[in-house]
Amino acid sequence: MLLRVIVVSFVFLSFLNYGNAGITSTFIRSEWPSNDIPIDNKEFSIPKGHNAPQQVHITQGDYDGRAVIISWVTPDEPGSNEVKYGTAEKRYEFTAEGTVSNYTFYQYKSGFIHHCFVDGLEHDTKYYYKLGSGDSAREFWFKTPPQIGPDAPYKFGIIGDLGQTYNSLSTLKHYMQSGGQTVLFVGDLSYADRYQYNDVGLRWDSWGRFVERSTAYQPWIWSAGNHEIDYMPYMGEVTPFKNFLQRYATPHLVCKSSNPLWYAIRRASAHIIVLSSYSPFVKYTPQWEWLREELKKVNREKTPWLIVLMHVPIYNSNGAHYMEGESMRAVFESWFVEYKVDYRISNTRYNITSGDRYPVPDKSAPVYITVGDGGNQEGLADRFLDPQPDYSAFREASYGHSTLEIKNRTHAFYHWNRNDDGKKQATDAFVLRNQYWASNHRRRKLKKHYLKSVGGGAAI
């Protein structure tokens, strides 16, 4: 609520500043600040035909990118679990059989949720696929990543805190023009938990239809945020992550994780580790045990880029989530440094007796990028700490998305793009030199710019 008040005054100030300069309506968004798009809007439209598959999304299905999990919802009856697919348009040589389930949330009854594992795919190949049958059938496509290798180029998008407002739509459209091949999603998907009773389930559905324009055509790598917890005891819903886990599958079994909320995959030249900020992670817990083993599997000769995704930032200078990452930092930071998770700061010298409490430059520490600006209903998180701490290089309270474009084993380019009143505006950029491969070479020159925005976090 406080945030919303701040946003309103911010809009007002902008109006005063720019209004006099002769720039009028283009700077005033009709639905500003962040209102959710009405549920009957065309952006959430239900596909035509009886029981037509909707909310289609794919994610990587195996460790190395030769499988996908295809998920969709049929609203009226279970229908078919089959995915027909092949490498030529409209000629589906293969069929895979998935599973179906449904659940309730308060009195809301979900549609029939299908998950289908499709494996044995060739690398670097375009596949076409078809769901449903007759007049209700729908067709999509996706491209598999190149084979795992140190110089396999790949362009990831990074999006967090998306929601389903007009700003979210702007972010999504801009991302889709970026050439990004896979989204690293850092948590907080639908913000359906801002609703109550049956509307929670309905807003999970509308979000699934909203993002389908991208999620049906390229994998989104999911990690869970606080808005996925959906702990609502007043309506009898006390199982954390119920809506999220029913709808968004992850390939946790292939990396021997006991829980879909934390897992790892390899894609092109990247080893991607997804952690759950809202599940137990202290010493001896399943997540801690799993991460210890997973880090041993990282082979920087094959996947030079080691990326860790988690929702709560470990270093943060915004009021949102401030200090929440401290407990995970205390547990995992020494591992991130040891394994050189790709300026660089660390606070591993701190312990409760030493009092060395300030983060210090550390060549083998990760670069932390915080992106939480998808455009959700909570509006701008613009309460930054003042003065800006040394560990923060660049920050802006705004909306937008990032891309991480890996060129080869030594170089990757990071870009952050602001949604500037509907226009995409390249705003922050830097070159990452790989920790492992650059370590014997000239040290990476960090442009004194790296993004410190708000909300979700990605550590690279």
Instruction: Give dist(CA 64, CA 66) in Å, integer.
Output: 6
Beta carbons of 12 and 4 less than 8 angstroms apart = no
Q: How many other CB atoms are there within 10 angstroms of residue 336's CB atom? A: 23
Shortest distance in whole angstroms from residue 31 CB to ligand NAG: 34
| Cα pseudo-dihedral 33, 178, 188, 304, rounded to 10 | -150
User: 123 vs 407, which CB is nearer to ligand NAG?
Assistant: 407
Coil, strand or helix: which one is 453? coil
Alpha helices per DSSP H over 237-304: 242-247, 286-297
Shortest distance in whole angstroms from residue 140 CB to ligand NAG: 26
User: 198 vs 408, which CB is nearer to ligand NAG?
Assistant: 408
CA atoms within 13 A on the CB side of 188: 28
The active-site residue, picked from 115, 174, 252, 321, is 321
Burial class, 85, CB count within 10 angstroms (exposed 0-12 / middle 13-18 / buried 19+): buried
User: 351 vs 388, which CB is nearer to ligand NAG?
Assistant: 351
Q: Which residues bind ligand NAG (CB under 6 A)?
A: 102-104, 109, 349, 351, 353-354, 356, 407-408, 410-411
User: 140 vs 336, which CB is nearer to ligand NAG?
Assistant: 336
Shortest distance in whole angstroms from residue 375 CB to ligand NAG: 31
User: 151 vs 390, which CB is nearer to ligand NAG?
Assistant: 151
Instruction: Give dist(CA 319, CA 6) in Å, integer.
Output: 13
Beta carbons of 66 and 119 less than 8 angstroms apart = yes
Shortest distance in whole angstroms from residue 412 CB to ligand NAG: 9
Sign of CA dihedral 371, 373, 374, 378: positive
Question: What's the distance, Cα to Cα, between the start and end of the chain in Å?
Answer: 32
Question: Comparing C-alpha atoms, which of 351, 360, 430 is closest to residue 390?
Answer: 360
**Token couple for 68:** 């996908």
Nearest 5°: phi and psi at 450?
-145, 150
Please identify which residue in the block is written with the tokens 């500003």.
32
Shortest distance in whole angstroms from residue 104 CB to ligand NAG: 5
Shortest distance in whole angstroms from residue 434 CB to ligand NAG: 10
Residue nearest to ligand NAG (CB): 354
Shortest distance in whole angstroms from residue 110 CB to ligand NAG: 7
Q: How many other CB atoms are there within 10 angstroms of residue 149's CB atom? A: 16
Beta carbons of 374 and 210 less than 8 angstroms apart = no
Question: Comparing C-alpha atoms, which of 220, 254, 221 is closest to residue 62?
Answer: 254
The strand pair at 82-86 and 54-60 is best described as: unpaired
Question: Comparing C-alpha atoms, which of 212, 219, 208, 179 is closest to residue 402?
Answer: 179
User: 383 vs 411, which CB is nearer to ligand NAG?
Assistant: 411
Give the chain's radius of gyration (CA, Å): 22
**Token couple for 16:** 């005063």
Shortest distance in whole angstroms from residue 202 CB to ligand NAG: 15
User: 110 vs 377, which CB is nearer to ligand NAG?
Assistant: 110
Instruction: Give dist(CA 439, CA 409) in Å, integer.
Output: 12
Nearest 5°: phi and psi at 73?
-125, 135
User: 24 vs 104, which CB is nearer to ligand NAG?
Assistant: 104
Respond yes or no: is residue 321 known to be catalytic: yes
User: 41 vs 410, which CB is nearer to ligand NAG?
Assistant: 410
Question: Comparing C-alpha atoms, which of 130, 102, 104, 127 is closest to residue 114?
Answer: 102
Shortest distance in whole angstroms from residue 356 CB to ligand NAG: 5
Residues labelled as active-site residues: 321
